[in-house]
């Protein structure tokens, strides 16, 4: 491709970063120049003589690292639609994602060949091994406009069957640039990816923002708390983003260390310029514990697969525990009631979002797409309240807002209170059907080592901390909560375990 030819903003940004290091993975480092060269080879291999993939879907199952980024960029540069797959998926899950997206090609690497290649053959797909893409004659790559489809990411499926969320290149550009501005990314940054690369958090917030800014993105093959602490202690990282579950694991690792090592770990954590928590509600006790350990008030934000990030606490200003801040640059947010009427401060309502970062459609689901919007506003299905100008999430309307005895209760608020109990390490609150109350408040908990807990003692403890109608009337102790790959509790599975 002629460098002067119109090309995607992401590729143009990479050219401007040149010989700077972009990725550091288990195989070493790769510069932006190398990413451009390898992704061009991937694009040429995918085209295989064609002028343009014309939005053909290309699924890829590749471990985090240079190969993953080269695959993504290569698909985009060939004019295709990228369908990133979760490494931890089962065969039936992968079959669903591939079949639902209508992907015609499967890109894989040596670490996933045993799963990916037989799947591609069974579904009649073209299968391409990343390691087998050698030097290829330069290809004339298509000019891809920003309004074309770029990626299909499947929703987490915590409340219903996963849907393919289609974003355009313009949507992705807007999602990235708003975070670059709000969180002040620069080419001096260095971040560590510990998240799976099949959701917005890992793809956009960490990897894409870092590479847009010209920063270095270290990519771990899999999460390991001790290894993360080692990277924090290296003094090289400036930005770290994770889900609450990861922060809990890091806290446990810190608590297991010697007193002297703890001091070193805390000092190193305090030197990072930004630490962010997202993808699930961050319980205030976890935030406070991390602040005591690392000196950071974790920056909480709110987003979804369909919208990227919409709300964020201030980077340089005050961060209120339990709140997700204000609308990000270029994003419009409002709260409405069931009739779509605007609500004022202090009144809970559904979050609706509008702006260039909002997705284009649900793949092959026109009815679901229409139902997701109201007069141009995307209906998130999440309930929040505005207090002193900042948003506080009350939960997923369909599963985190409980209706018991005529009261509307926030499962997230109850969970936060329960985490203050000395025996409770993790918890999930759901509503289970009840003829008299509509729903009963049920708590599933993971206990701290060496502790016990019964319902009567829990209710006695809760009397001074929550209203009687918020107290759990059902308690179940488990070894681990059911979670998805992002560490988010799968509430539908919690309900099943109670029944």
Contact yes or no for 86/484 (Cβ under 8 A): no
- The confidence band for 160, taking pLDDT boundaries of 50, 70 and 90, is low
Over residues 439-479, the pLDDT tens digits come to 889 999 999 989 999 999 999 999 888 888 899 999 999 99
Rounded Cα–Cα distance for residues 46 and 59 (Å): 12
Mean pLDDT of 117-143: 91
Half-sphere exposure of 241 (CA within 13 A, CB side): 29
Q: Which CATH superfamily is domain 401-498 in?
A: ANL, C-terminal domain (3.30.300.30)
Residue 487 has pLDDT above 80, yes or no: no
- CATH code of domain 9-144: 3.40.50.980
Give the residue extent of every domain in the chain.
9-144, 401-498
What is the percent of the chain with per-residue pLDDT over 70, rounded to a whole number?
97
- Average pLDDT, whole number, for the chain? 92
Contact yes or no for 195/221 (Cβ under 8 A): no
| Angle formed at CA 124 by CA 74 and CA 145, multiple of 5 degrees | 30
Residue 4 has pLDDT above 50, yes or no: no
pTM for this entry: 0.86
The residue with tokens 């988010």 is 488
- Parallel, antiparallel or unpaired: strands 474-477 and 438-447: parallel
Over residues 197-254, the pLDDT tens digits come to 999 999 999 999 999 999 999 999 889 999 999 999 999 999 999 988 899 899 999 9
Q: What is the pLDDT of residue 264?
A: 97
């Amino acid at each position: 491709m002629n460098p002067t030819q119109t090309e995607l903003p992401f590729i143009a940004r990479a050219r401007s970063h040149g010989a700077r290091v972009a990725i550091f993975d288990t195989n070493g480092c790769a510069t932006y120049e190398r990413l451009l060269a390898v992704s061009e080879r991937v694009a040429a291999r995918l085209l295989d003589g064609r002028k343009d993939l014309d939005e053909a879907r290309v699924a890829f199952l590749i471990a985090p690292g240079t190969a993953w980024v080269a695959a993504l960029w290569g698909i985009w540069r060939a004019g295709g639609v990228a369908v990133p797959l979760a490494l931890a998926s089962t065969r039936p899950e992968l079959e669903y994602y591939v079949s639902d997206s209508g992907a015609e090609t499967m890109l894989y690497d040596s670490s996933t060949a045993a799963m990916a290649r037989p799947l591609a053959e069974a579904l009649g797909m073209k299968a391409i091994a990343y390691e087998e893409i050698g030097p290829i004659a330069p290809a004339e790559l298509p000019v891809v406009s920003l309004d074309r489809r770029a990626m299909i990411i499947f929703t987490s499926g915590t409340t219903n069957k996963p849907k393919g969320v289609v974003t355009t290149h313009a949507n992705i550009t807007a999602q990235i640039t708003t975070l670059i501005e709000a969180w002040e990314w620069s080419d001096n940054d260095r971040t560590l990816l510990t998240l799976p690369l099949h959701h917005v958090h890992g793809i956009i917030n960490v990897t894409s923002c870092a590479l847009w800014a010209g920063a270095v993105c270290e990519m771990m093959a899999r999460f390991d708390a001790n290894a993360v602490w080692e990277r924090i202690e290296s003094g090289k990282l400036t930005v770290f983003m994770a889900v609450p579950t990861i922060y809990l694991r890091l806290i446990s690792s810190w608590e297991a260390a010697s007193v002297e090592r703890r001091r070193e770990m805390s000092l190193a954590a305090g030197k990072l310029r930004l630490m962010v928590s997202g993808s699930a509600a961050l319980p205030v006790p976890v935030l406070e514990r991390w602040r005591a350990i690392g000196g950071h008030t974790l920056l909480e934000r709110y987003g979804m697969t369909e919208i990227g990030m919409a709300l964020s606490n201030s980077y340089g200003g005050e961060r209120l525990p339990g709140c997700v801040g204000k609308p990000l640059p270029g994003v419009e947010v409002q709260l409405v009631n069931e009739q779509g009427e605007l609500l004022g401060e202090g009144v809970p309502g559904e979050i609706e979002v509008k702006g260039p970062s909002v997705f284009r459609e649900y793949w092959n689901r026109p009815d679901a797409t229409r139902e997701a919007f109201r007069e141009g506003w995307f209906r998130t299905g999440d309930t929040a309240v505005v207090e002193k100008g900042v948003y506080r999430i009350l939960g997923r309307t369909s599963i985190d807002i409980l209706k018991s005895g005529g009261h509307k209760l926030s499962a997230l608020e109850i969970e936060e209170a329960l985490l203050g109990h000395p025996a409770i390490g993790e918890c999930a609150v759901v509503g289970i059907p009840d003829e008299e109350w509509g729903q009963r408040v049920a708590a599933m908990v993971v206990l701290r080592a060496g502790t016990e807990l019964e319902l009567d003692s829990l209710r006695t403890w809760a009397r001074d901390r929550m209203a009687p109608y918020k107290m759990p009337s059902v308690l179940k102790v488990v070894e681990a909560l059911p979670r998805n790959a992002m560490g988010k509790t799968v509430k539908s599975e919690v309900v099943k375990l109670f029944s």
